[in-house]
A and B are shown apart, each in its own frame.
Chain A
């Protein structure tokens, strides 16, 4: 009896260790299973799954498993998977991760012209945003730029010309009309994280950057004080709501009931997330962001919506590259995908969608106007998650009134320097 129990246990354990090694490599039988991971909403999941299905229909020897979900936790999961060698074959990443992950080792496969027709992409764009140490590591899905989305009707209702060309000054002088007439309403929907983007843009125009490409703080204490004094006027004049009302919607300003119900008129945003941010609110148009006269760098950010990469530990790199080629340059795939990842970066993608009239006027205008005023890419240092956290912490303390503009500037410089020294 005991022996039989022992036997059963041994068998179970042995079986367990077989399962633990994962599914057996099915390459021998001519069948290939690829995994592709991305984040997004249903408007991205459904077309992506449909495109993958269309690909497998034409290539019955290939099976593609989609691993998809929301943005929250995607990066954490990805890094853990990369560390454990279990990341998907084809991975959608955010642009800053390209250098962050590549700096830790060879994580992605270098892309060359034999895999995908690279002439479809703007060479400068690839070089600026998709390379690491001069090697092309991924392909940009779309071109994403900052834009300024405004509720034209709400502005007009409060006596503000909806066609205003925005400057830093008239944001205050015009914007204050809203809160002055209705204390529940504000010109801007900015949450603490969005104010950080505004601050970074302002600093870029004043001093070129917050942190430059050499890892040095690019602005002087006086310049920082000037910037914080400017944003102090946003609080004083009711341009933005107090942080005590908005901090709960950190990184989710579009979930703020005040925003949803139309008590806030404008927002800084990315074109790729514009539709999600505007939600069901009517009467939205996009405008260019304010740029100072003679600014060296507009601070208006442009970068790939996302980047598609191939995992260096993929067992089927050639097959993965073929799927990439299909998704980026095949007419059928481009039609199915539509605007799931914004306006495509690849020339053929844009022409396919344009011929079908699939690109909305608003998205096209916002993208073109954004590209027209786009500034320099932010430095790797400025995009570092710890550096961003330092900026955010100071913005929070400043916004909650714990720091004066001068104190905020001094503390920001000190904290940035000590953090960068420890990176």
Chain B
């Protein structure tokens, strides 16, 4: 018993750097921001307690909040499913036994290494701007130019494509998952006369479902908090059509310096993400198949 306790101390000691980091760099700011969300904190000067005033203001007619929330939901709805579908598609292709397959795997992962970076967003801007590469290419084929980033109807879609393009990490997980599926299952299915599509939907997808769940949750959490691409490419415009929640938070906090208000907004985002994550977890009981469950 005594030696056990000693062993525990040593264990704590080993994780001490992480614990200190967590306490100082994460827990303290978290609690602080919760406190600030009930104040009128403006970064300079000291915060005054204002009760639920921030939340009341947000929910009673902050037009920007509603607009931004809308944009964010649409963004999550476009970007996350597309990204996962695309990652799965590429993973299935890269799971074949082709010569030089490792080169392709590396190539497809590269966008994710650059992931979320400012450079990629700048590149995107120059690809899709009015006289950008895409429109010039369209012109060569004789198609009309489209205001990819200037038209409020298309801008969000174009910005979402940056996210979809960075499918590498999801793809890698799918690829690992595909390798785990026992070959015997496929063999049995083929002997029973199942076609490729049937094998894919009846064996591959159910066997991969835990990874789909993991990707779905991770990508959803990330997408709700996305910031860089919209900030760099469109700054939330045109007409706030790409004004993601993270952008609004940033504006409130660092443009208008309403830190209290911004803290309240971020806790609302936390609740929203929490809600959709738990919803996804709950729904997973009906569509995720773990190998050990019968």
Contacts and interface: CB of A to CB of B under 8 A. Distances in A.
B255 A385 contact: yes
A105 B44 contact: yes
A244 interface: yes
B238 interface: yes
What is the interface residue range for chain B against chain A?
Answer: 20 to 34
Interface string A63-96: 0000000000000100110110000000000000
A257 B256 CA distance: 31
Contact of A247 (B45, B150, B257): B150
5 smallest A-B Cβ distances: which pairs?
A104-B44, A244-B150, A247-B238, A76-B254, A244-B147
Interface string A104-124: 110100000000000000000
A198 B160 CA distance: 33
B151 A244 contact: yes
A400 interface: yes
Interface stretch (A287-295, A327-335, A346-354, A389-397): A389-397
Given A245-B147, A248-B150, A258-B131, A402 B43 contact: no
Interface in A190-216: 192
Interface of B: 6, 10, 13, 16, 20, 42-45, 125, 129-131, 147, 149-152, 233-235, 237-240, 251, 254-257
Given A247-B238, A248-B234, A79 B125 contact: no
Contacts of A192: 237
Nearest to A423: B256
A304 B91 CA distance: 58
A84 B233 CA distance: 30
Given A104-B43, A192-B237, 5 more contacts: A104-B45, A107-B44, A250-B235, A251-B235, A393-B240
Contacts of B152: 400
A2 B151 CA distance: 64
A423 to B, nearest CB: 10
B125 A9 contact: no
Nearest to A76: B254
Interface residues of A, number: 34
A322 interface: no
A403 B130 CA distance: 24
5 contacts: A192-B237, A248-B150, A389-B256, A393-B240, A397-B239
Nearest to B16: A9
Contact of A9 (B13, B43, B44, B256): B13
Nearest to B237: A247
A9 B150 CA distance: 55
B3 to A, nearest CB: 12
B16 A248 contact: no
A243 interface: yes
A6 interface: yes
Contacts of A101: 44
Contacts of B149: 248
Contacts of B251: 389
| Binding site secondary structure of chain B | loop
Contacts of A386: 256
Nearest to A80: B43
B238 A104 contact: no
A242 to B, nearest CB: 8
Nearest to A393: B240
Given A9-B13, A83-B44, A105-B45, A243 B238 contact: yes
Interface in A215-234: none
A5 interface: yes
A400 B251 CA distance: 22
A2 B10 contact: yes
Given A243-B150, A389-B255, A6 B13 contact: yes
B44 A257 contact: no
Given A2-B10, A105-B44, A386-B256, A257 B131 contact: yes
A272 to B, nearest CB: 22
B42 A104 contact: yes
A39 to B, nearest CB: 16
A5 B257 contact: no
B153 to A, nearest CB: 10
Contacts of A244: 147, 150-151, 238
Contacts of B151: 244
Contacts of A105: 44-45
A13 B44 CA distance: 31
A96 B44 CA distance: 16
